[in-house]
Amino acid sequence: MNPLPNRENWSVQNADAVLHAVKTDAITGLTEQEAAVRLTANGRNELEQAPTVPAWQRILAQFQSPLIYLLLAAIAIAVVAWGVESFKGWPIDALVIAAVVLLNAALGYLEEGKARGAVAALARMTEARSSVIRNGQRLQINSVELVVGDMLVLAEGDAVGADARLTQAASLHVMEAPLTGESQAVLKNPATLAQSASLGDKLNMVFKGTAVTQGTGLAVVTATGMATEIGAIASLLKEVKDEPTPLEKEITHIGRLLGIAVIIITVIVVGTILLISDIQTTSDVVGVLLFGVALAVAAVPEGLPAILSVVLALGVRRMAARNAIVKKPSSVEALGSATVIATDKTGTLTRSEMTIEQIITATGNSRVTGVGYAPQGHVQQDGQDLGEGALLDEQTLLLSYGSLAGNSSLAQSADGQWAVHGDPTEAAFLVAECKLLQDAPILRSKRYARVGEIPFTSERKMMSTLEVDHDQGGQIILVSKGAPDVLLEKCTHVQTGQTTRPLDEAGRAQILEAVDTLSDAALRTLAVAYRPLSADEGQGQGKTPTAALERDLVYVGTVGMMDPPREEVAVAIAQAQAAGIRVVMITGDHPRTAARIASDLGITKAGDATLTGLELDALSDADLAQAVRRTSVYARVSPANKLKIIAMLQADGQVVAMTGDGVNDAPALKSANVGVAMGISGTEVTKEAAKVILADDNFATIVDAVREGRNIFDNIRKFLRYLLSSNMGEVLTVFLGVVGASMIGLNSTSDNGKTAAVILPLLATQILWLNLITDTWPALALGIDPPTPSVMTRKPRHINARVIDFRMWLGVFEIGLVIAVVALLTMDMYLPGGLIAQIDADTRAGDMATARTAGFTVLVMAHLLQCFNARSETTSAFANLFTNRWIWAAVGLSAVLQIAVVNIGFLNVAFGTVPLNLDQWLICLAMASVVLWYSELRKLLLNFAA
């Protein structure tokens, strides 16, 4: 086959030209043989599926982090050191680190779940059957067998199986929200467009993945599979790369930084020991190197990856309890870093349920309370329900006749949810009628019976039904509904109470002014009129009624309707803005409707501009970059436009969370830092592309997720501050203990009764024990600290802000230095010849075991007290002291284990400790508390300086 013209050109070509171009016949369609040839040549009408990622690749991906690389290196070094010692005993340090790495990988794999293919979900969503004309006969075929040139027969309830150019249409309404975001069904018209238009304005085209809500049509297929508009979205989705979350970037940075720091620290400490010590044998060198390995392991917070995974996993569970399903754990924290929430309108900010808001008749106007399809609300004037009188009579008639002139139905499911079948606009009359009079539908169905219909067409912009009124002796009434200006031209009278009066020019002008008022409020307007037919006209009811009957009508009134905002959204947007987060609406809907919703919800203020997709396409990159900084509402945009807006926001340094529910939102959701899909109204495609799914479709849930994300980030800083300051204390204790050995008496004593080339402040086993009991559950307890009151009142952190900034690094070093100093001074108390006069001089004079045990115990206790300090850099450790019971449990458990190591015989042998008496324990606790008091003083100075 010859290449077909680009799909963008079909709407501006007349139907005959399109039929000629695709070589088909409007009456007989393709032959079965020709359809088979085209199917073989062009392929099935389905979307390309993304390749499935093997399980082994998903497992390996869990190890792709600099921090994990660092731990793997530590395992390798520890195993080598074990080999140097002739494989004596078990390589406990290597085994512990390996267990941590495997635990982290398992948690990550389980939390992220199986990789899903968004393009495959697109294909599943669009599976359907289609009616076509082949060989002059109407057939039902699987939609995947459609080919270019097929004549597609469309009727109410059909899923459109391919992109097609209409050749005929009768009151054809198509719901295109999944593709365009348009909140109401689009009336189609086969007339040729004068110029190219955006996707939502191609009224003579129907598209794969949309649905017919009313009417009938005939269309010639112009594109199938990946050549369709939905296929273009699938292509965009494949090209979009997953954006790493800010947390993932930070953990990568920290891993690299720690790797460099560990190498430098180990080289300096080991080099210093070798230079200043009396190294005489190879055994001495090996001993120092083995100690270097233990020190390297101590310097690495090996619990960090696992603790991070657990903290994120717990955050995921908390969000699930709040109806937010997080597919990628790090996305929870990313939401907390969001500076912009870019949101779709239809179904996200609004209910996706057309609702009549205002009614205007001759006597006055009323407002309709309640939103959505649930018939709960009232028809009121000045805040009061309508009482007996002309206004009630007029509006009862308007809603009753508006419900008659339609083909939709309203039903309540077993679970109490209300749903409509048919055009949502028509259903809005049914709902409003029930609000005015609860049993109105029952009374109407008993009183009226339809005997004819003049269907809606795009040319006439109205429809009419013929109804037998049993209460009026079988009188046949013509009931019409349509565009107010069109209907008004056919009216000669206006309804006033229970009577009618002639409609003069002043009355017409007054009605049109009222309609303009509704339109200015971004409400969609529909008018209702009627005419009792004469006996002669009524006798022709058996024949097909014609538009000639639509004359001399009585104008009843006009309604204004819209897809209303969700009630909870305005509050959520205000909370987001208070937290320094900008909310941006990106929709395929009409600009005026988008602007109204944005204003009602507080996204924009009076005078703020709205940009359309065509206007965006006309902007240069430089102008677009300026526009995204000041524009908060985008309307009539395509999926490509959405991607461009998201990219520009990200290029401007914003962390973008994108919400949506339609297929047209999927590429932008995947491109955003965090994609958030609607779980109820969202398409399968959107859910697959997103990282977070809202199970309740509630925009307010996003604010809860932001709060959770910010708290997680705060807690990550807390346990990083704790882990790094503790590890710094260990490293500095060893380094300063070796360098300043003569100052504290380490070089004037012996180790275990033997003269040693190197006397170290801590043994390798003691360092590993420190890491075991202080780097695990206390850090984990910090990771689940409750949020502070200020968590949603401060601005989002800058995209380039480090998790560990300079002030935090300075604090880590200061606290680490204090921990090291108090530990070494405690050792000095039990050694002769140091800075402090030796205590217990008559017992254990110069006993290195006692001194080392005391210093070791001070390190453990100082670390545990630092757990309280690390909760805040500026708030006192004594504030909110009992809000986190897990910290007390973790500290208590670690303290009990340390008491056991010091006082139980076989543990004394394993860890080189000796029992301490009560006085010695009190001294250790007093020395360890110095860390607490120093930190309190530091916080006072920081607050004073601020």
Residues marked as catalytic: 344
How many residues in total does the chain contain? Answer: 946
DSSP-derived secondary structure letter, 407: -
CA atoms in the 13 A half-sphere facing the CB of 197 = 17
Please give the Cα distance from 896 to 578 (Å, whole number).
45
Please give the Cα distance from 138 to 131 (Å, whole number).
7
**Residue 382: exposure state from Cβ atoms within 10 A (0-12, 13-18, ≥19):** exposed
Sign for the pseudo-dihedral over CA of 779, 784, 789, 790: positive
Q: DSSP states of 160-215 as a string?
A: P-SEEEEEEEEEEEEE-HHHH--SSPEEP--SPPSS---GGG-TTEE-TT-EEEEE
Strands 475-482 and 462-469: antiparallel
Sign for the pseudo-dihedral over CA of 243, 246, 251, 254: positive
Given a contact cutoff of 8 angstroms between Cβ atoms, the answer to whether 765 and 909 are in contact is no
Please give the Cα distance from 525 to 519 (Å, whole number).
7
Given a contact cutoff of 8 angstroms between Cβ atoms, the answer to whether 219 and 152 are in contact is yes
Please give the Cα distance from 642 to 406 (Å, whole number).
36
Instruction: List beta partners, residue 645.
Output: none
Given a contact cutoff of 8 angstroms between Cβ atoms, the answer to whether 315 and 329 are in contact is yes
Please give the Cα distance from 94 to 77 (Å, whole number).
8
Strands 692-694 and 324-326: antiparallel
- The encoded tokens of residue 97 equal 């680190």
- CB count within 10 Å of CB 417 equals 10
Strands 418-421 and 491-496: unpaired
Helix (H) or strand (E) holding 491: strand 491-496
Given a contact cutoff of 8 angstroms between Cβ atoms, the answer to whether 73 and 66 are in contact is no
**Residue 837: exposure state from Cβ atoms within 10 A (0-12, 13-18, ≥19):** exposed
Given a contact cutoff of 8 angstroms between Cβ atoms, the answer to whether 628 and 339 are in contact is no
Instruction: List beta partners, residue 779.
Output: none
**Measured between alpha carbons, how far is residue 664 from residues 31, 111, 351, 692 in Å?**
34, 27, 18, 17
What is the 3 state secondary structure string of 747-792?
HHCCECCECCCCCCCCCHHHHHHHHHHHCCHHHHHHHCCCCCHHHH
Q: Which of 227, 207, 116 is nearest to 675 (CA)?
A: 116
Given a contact cutoff of 8 angstroms between Cβ atoms, the answer to whether 565 and 372 are in contact is no
- CB count within 10 Å of CB 806 equals 8
Helix (H) or strand (E) holding 668: helix 666-671
Q: DSSP states of 346-403 as a string?
A: TTTTB-S--EEEEEEESS-EEEE---SSS----EEETTEE--SSHHHHHHHHHHHHHH
Instruction: List beta partners, residue 526.
Output: 559
**How does 345-369 read in b/e, with b if 16+ C-beta sit within 10 Å?**
bbbbbbbbbbbbbbbbbbbebbbbe
